[in-house]
Amino acid sequence: MLLDRIRLPFEDELRAERFRLIETLDGLSDDDFDAGTTLCTEWAPRDVLGHVIGLDYFVSSYLPFGPKINDANRAQADRARAMPRERLMRWARHWADHPSTTSRVGAGILLGDLGVHHQDVVRGLGLTRRVPDGTATAIFREGLQLSVWLNRRVLRHRLEPTDGHRPVALPGAKNGPTVRGTREALGMWLCGRDSVTPELEFD
């Protein structure tokens, strides 16, 4: 197919972030991999990995569940939980280097989702990493999108990233309170990860 020979927008960034997630997971003990705390309620790192891999198989992972997205996400995590770590990580390396056509086309959206979930693992385990510039922007963008229906924070606050992105204020929020922080922290907060709140400055 012609599409297979074309590098699509954000495709390289998506692959790179996938391999960075794998590097993070490779550094975990078996206990942390199987049962460590993440910012995703009730999910260990291996469950988070199962979910993000499952997004590559949109037709088989989501369509059978119709509008029940949470059930589809749970099924992805359950499938990963049943696999030995070694087999799951082999699958992850193939997933990282060979994104599906739907993921390549939607790489700009999936990069933000992947970045958020990578931070769910890193922050949940008390680790740190340098978030690449493109991923930080994607996390912020993901938060802006999710917050509209998730918690409506984006509709009530003026958002001022402190690390290189223009302020964002939707029409109803121009006179609302200002929240300042890094793109990553703001994006995570907008996605409902309240543990990042102490890192933000509220007017």
- pLDDT at residue 57 in the model: 82
Question: What does the pLDDT look like over 110-166, one tens digit per residue?
Answer: 999 999 999 999 999 999 999 999 999 999 999 999 999 999 999 999 999 999 899
- pLDDT at residue 1 in the model: 53
Structure tokens belonging to residue 11 = 């495709």
Band (65; pLDDT cuts 50, 70, 90): low
pLDDT exceeds 70 at position 5: no
- Contacts of residue 185, Cβ cutoff 8 Å, sequence gap at least 6: 196, 199, 200
Question: What does the pLDDT look like over 11-28, one tens digit per residue?
Answer: 999 999 999 999 999 999
Please tell me the distance from the alpha carbon of residue 182 to that of residue 137, in angstroms, as a whole number: 10
